[in-house]
């Protein structure tokens, strides 16, 4: 009989914590998960899921206007925002119930409250202490806002998903995933949207052609992008706000939404006191097996600040359980992780962007071949909507292995998920070419691109 109350206590019932807890329990381990908020975490309660439901809601607006080109007469349409928020919340309640049931059915105890690490084998929840052989920190992250005058007036993605009133004019600060996704959905629902970015372009870290194409499409759809612009202060102005930028320019709006990154949730968890090392940003430092400086304490998901994506946290959780509970140690494989941005149009991407692929190839004395296609999707020949798609393949010239696959356009996330398998298998351009397309689709472009871009275009 173990001298501890549990074999594993997980702090945080989000995507990574729930998966690791239930997989560990399935091996016969005695597991508890501590959660102070709602079971499901950021993705289910405050992120991916509610955001995607609002994206779906917003896309009806495109459907109504596209329908006219196909012979439909569409009557008056109107969005009932409070009703949408209510139905979205009912769905989140349902999902929370499912997550709770998953824990119960897998014999994982749910300890309701805030978990604090007291020492290498003890966790305190609401004044009660529990001993455990291993502790897993899966507390995720929280929006990070810069410290400027009036920042208390700003909302984040947490509040944007639950606004009582639809914001007719919204300023979004930041140009990452969250900023472009919410800009797209609010714009499609009819809001006047301004994005403010300090850099020259949106979506830092993505392929340059993706960034340029998406920015153009967003601007064509009516979103204003203020580049190389820094917000100095936010002031209350009547029922709304005035956003003052460097210089004298101000923008009036109903809501100011900050999407300036997320910081790891490690404050007040007792980690440093227990000997766990944190980065200057507050992320838990772990080795390739998610072990911290304290051998019985582990961490994974957004709190380790590697790749802040739900499926990554889930896979990290499974690698952790294989290593600690199944006696089959393995690190997480971070190569070729597909990702999507649910902007409008959306982005799907897997593998290297052109600049990094070229730098890697050049180090070995080689180079890359670039294949690119820009086109107007068939649907918009009749809908009349001025929207274009872009698809791009990056191929290592010497091995002919496809090292990057990127798309901006309708269904890009659904399309690129499948090509993620091809990249994971190390498929070559010849194998892409030997694959018969499905006609008529946009996806077939990925297997029919034959002409590489001339070399001189690539060094731009």
Smallest CA-to-CA distance from 223 within 282, 252, 272, 182 is with 182
Of positions 259, 390, 394, 449, contacts ligand NDP by CB under 6 A: 259
Cα–Cα distance measured from residue 390 to residue 383, given in angstroms and rounded to the nearest whole number? 19
Quick note: the x/- pattern for ligand NDP over 71-110, rule CB under 6 A, is: ----------------------------------------
Q: Based on the shown chain and the rule CB under 6 A, indicate whether residue 69 belongs to the binding site for ligand NDP.
A: no
| Rounded Cα distance, 40 and 58, in Å | 24
Using rule CB under 6 A, residue 179 touches ligand NDP: yes
Long-range CB contacts for residues 59-63, cutoff 8 Å, separation at least 24: 59/188, 59/344, 61/188, 61/189, 61/190, 62/188, 62/344, 62/385
Binding mask 236-255 toward ligand NDP (x if CB under 6 A, else -) reads --------------------
Using CB under 6 A, pick the residue from 20, 193, 339, 427 that binds ligand NDP. 339
Task: Determine the 3-state secondary structure of 243 from DSSP.
Answer: strand
Is 405 in contact with 416 (CB distance < 8 Å)?
yes
User: Which entry of 110, 388, 439, 456 is annotated as an active-site residue?
Assistant: 439
- Which of positions 265-324 make contact with ligand NDP (CB under 6 A)? 308-309
Residue nearest to ligand NDP (CB): 176
Stretch that binds ligand NDP, among 84-92, 99-107, 192-200, 363-371 (CB under 6 A): 192-200
In contact, 34 and 113? CB cutoff 8 Å: yes
Q: For the chain, how big is the Rg over CA atoms in Å?
A: 24
Site for ligand NDP in 132-171 (CB under 6 A): 146
Shortest Å, Cβ 157 to ligand NDP: 7
Task: Report DSSP state, residue 422.
Answer: H
State the minimum distance, in angstroms, from the CB of residue 250 to ligand NDP: 17
DSSP H stretches of helix in 27-134? 41, 48-68, 81-105
The verdict on whether 439 is a catalytic residue reads yes
* Per CB under 6 A, 173 contacts ligand NDP: yes
* Shortest Å, Cβ 362 to ligand NDP: 25
Complete DSSP assignment for 112-144: ES-EEEEETTEEEETTEEEEEEEEEE---EEE-
Residue 111 binding ligand NDP, by CB under 6 A: no
Question: Which residue among 44, 171, 178, 394 contacts ligand NDP (CB under 6 A)?
Answer: 178
The order of strands in the sheet holding 339-341 is: 339-341, 347-351, 402-408, 389-396, 368-375
Which tokens is 344 given?
A: 């409008």
262 is a contact residue toward ligand NDP (CB under 6 A): yes
- Contact residues: ligand NDP, CB under 6 A: 146, 173-179, 181, 197-199, 204, 259-262, 308-309, 339-342
Enumerate the active-site residues: 439
């Amino acid at each position: 009989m173990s001298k501890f109350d549990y074999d594993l206590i997980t702090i945080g019932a989000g995507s990574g914590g729930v998966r690791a807890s239930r997989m560990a329990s399935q091996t016969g381990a005695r597991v508890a998960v501590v959660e102070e908020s709602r079971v499901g975490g950021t993705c289910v309660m405050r992120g991916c899921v509610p955001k995607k439901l609002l994206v779906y809601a917003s896309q009806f607006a495109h459907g109504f206007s596209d329908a006219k080109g196909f012979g439909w007469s569409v009557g008056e349409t109107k969005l009932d925002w409070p009703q949408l928020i209510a139905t979205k919340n009912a769905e989140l309640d349902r999902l929370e119930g499912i997550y709770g049931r998953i824990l119960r059915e897998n014999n994982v105890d749910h300890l309701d409250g805030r978990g604090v690490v007291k020492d290498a084998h003890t966790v305190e929840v609401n004044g009660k202490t529990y001993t455990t052989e291993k502790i897993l920190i899966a507390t995720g992250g929280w929006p990070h806002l810069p410290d400027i005058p009036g920042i208390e007036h700003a909302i984040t993605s947490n509040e944007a998903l639950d606004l009582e009133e639809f914001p007719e004019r919204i300023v979004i600060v930041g140009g990452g995933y969250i900023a472009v996704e919410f800009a797209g959905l609010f714009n499609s629902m009819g809001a006047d949207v301004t994005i403010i970015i300090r850099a020259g372009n949106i979506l830092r870290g993505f392929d340059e052609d993706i960034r340029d194409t998406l920015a153009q499409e967003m601007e064509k759809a009516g979103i204003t992008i203020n580049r190389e612009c820094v917000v100095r202060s936010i002031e209350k102005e009547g029922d709304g706000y005035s956003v003052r930028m460097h210089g004298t320019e101000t923008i009036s709006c109903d809501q100011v939404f900050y999407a300036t990154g997320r910081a790891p949730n490690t404050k007040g968890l007792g980690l440093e006191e227990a000997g766990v090392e944190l980065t200057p940003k507050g992320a838990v430092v772990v080795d390739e097996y998610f072990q911290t400086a304290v051998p019985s304490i582990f961490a994974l998901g957004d709190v380790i600040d590697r790749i802040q994506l739900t499926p990554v946290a889930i896979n990290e959780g499974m690698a952790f359980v294989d290593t600690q509970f199944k006696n089959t140690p393995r690190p997480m494989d971070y190569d070729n992780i597909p990702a999507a941005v649910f902007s409008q149009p959306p982005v799907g991407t897997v593998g290297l962007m052109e600049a990094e692929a070229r730098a890697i190839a050049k180090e070995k004395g080689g180079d890359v071949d670039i294949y690119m296609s820009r086109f107007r999707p068939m649907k918009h020949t009749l809908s009349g909507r001025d929207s274009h798609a872009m698809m791009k393949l990056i191929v290592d010239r010497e091995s002919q292995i496809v090292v990057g696959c990127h798309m901006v356009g309708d269904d890009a996330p659904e399309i690129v998920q499948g090509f993620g398998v091809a990249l994971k298998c190390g498929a070559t351009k010849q194998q892409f070419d030997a694959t018969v397309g499905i006609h008529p689709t946009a996806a077939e472009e990925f297997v029919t691109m034959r002409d590489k871009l001339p070399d001189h275009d690539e060094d731009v």
